[in-house]
Amino acid sequence: MAIRSDPVGSGRRRGVVPLQFRLWSTEDPEYKGENAEIEAIIDSIRAEVGNKGIYVYDRGGDRNEIFRYFISNGLDFIVRMMQNRYLMYEGVRQHILVLAAKCHTPHTSVVAFNANGEEKDTTIHYGAMPVRLPENPDFPGMHEKDLRLVVVRGFGQCAMLILTTLQGDGSKEDVWRVVQGYLTRWRVEETIRFVKQSYQVEDMRTLTLARLRNLAALVLAVAYFVMVWIGKSERREVLRTHIVETAKRIYGAPEFFYYALADGIQKLFTRFGKWSAKLDLKKVLLKPSPQLEFAFADGDG
């Protein structure tokens, strides 16, 4: 699932915007591999926004094919690295853990970190060093790109290792931009959990992949409606407040209040049976709605 998230301190209201929800199957005759599927997702986003933005990926993005795609297309990225990677530093190929031990981490920040379901303030130390990817005959040219390895200590026994195209002067503000970019990705994880739990994505039952993709398109439309149309509009503050109150949660709406919105909308729809007796359903259901259109994979389902 591709999601745009505004980082803390960006000057914009914190929130997420779902961009794409794509399903694939290894049994699909057109399936060409996970890398090809990931590239197709980014291609669809680039078709709308060009090369704007920074692509943030977890350790699943630490693969040569993905790096080749980013670099060859001129895309900026922030990728968390595995601990078995080798990088070039000062012309010498070295293990990433050796480089992490060499990296000076002079900058300090306090961040809220969720540890075992409990949020607490954590002091982290971070710094950066210039690196390159090793030369690889299967991926020519990648070793020529100037990159930076950002090392973050404090989240656990092992340092967090981040590779990025973003360059800078090594100041606290400069390196924090990269750290902040990756930490913002945790909100993406929260969003994915929200979509799975609130809309029971993993319980969808259909007979064909095309139908499953059609349902996924509907889930994406609903998620966008909740997070953007209602969730981020100041003009719809009253509507949002009423929906959250309808959820009747015994605790206040958390910062990630999309759960409360989803619960409130569900309760409102369960009351539809009481309201429907007062409505002319033919007029409601047959009334054309040109503002909302769905494009499905095919006409099946």
Q: What would the pLDDT profile of 40-71 be if each residue is shown by its tens digit?
A: 989 988 998 888 889 999 999 999 999 999 99
What angle do the packed helices 258-270 and 237-247 form, to 10 degrees?
Answer: 70
**Nearest to residue 37, comparing CAs of 28, 209, 50, 58?**
28
Q: What would the pLDDT profile of 278-295 be if each residue is shown by its tens digit?
A: 555 455 445 554 443 434
Beta bridge partners of 50: none
Q: How confident is the model at residue 208 (pLDDT cuts 50, 70, 90)?
A: confident
pLDDT of amino acid 69: 96
- Beta-strand runs (E) in the chain: 2-5, 16-20, 54-57, 76-80, 86-89, 92-95, 107-115, 118-131, 147-153, 160-164
Would strands 86-89 and 76-80 be described as parallel, antiparallel, or unpaired?
unpaired
- Identify whether the C-beta of residue 197 lies closer than 8 Å to the C-beta of residue 132: no
Sign of CA dihedral 29, 206, 17, 194: negative
Q: What would the pLDDT profile of 68-86 be if each residue is shown by its tens digit?
A: 999 999 999 999 999 999 9
**Nearest to residue 161, comparing CAs of 112, 107, 97, 102?**
97
Instruction: Tell me the average pLDDT across 121-141.
Output: 94
Question: Whose structure tokens read 């409505």?
Answer: 279
Q: What would the pLDDT profile of 262-278 be if each residue is shown by its tens digit?
A: 666 666 566 555 555 55
What angle do the packed helices 64-72 and 34-49 form, to 10 degrees?
Answer: 20
Instruction: Tell me the average pLDDT across 195-216.
Output: 80
- pLDDT of 16 higher than 50: yes
| Main-chain phi, psi angles of 122, to 5 degrees | -130, 135
Q: What would the pLDDT profile of 235-267 be if each residue is shown by its tens digit?
A: 556 555 555 554 444 344 344 456 556 666 666
As a whole number, the mean pLDDT across the chain is: 78
The lowest-confidence range among 147-161, 194-208, 222-236 is 222-236
Instruction: Tell me the average pLDDT across 174-186.
Output: 90
For residue 279, what are the CA distances in angstroms to 130, 137, 270, 272?
66, 68, 16, 10
- Identify whether the C-beta of residue 127 lies closer than 8 Å to the C-beta of residue 103: yes
In the chain, what are the domains?
2-198 (3.90.350.10), 233-286 (no CATH)
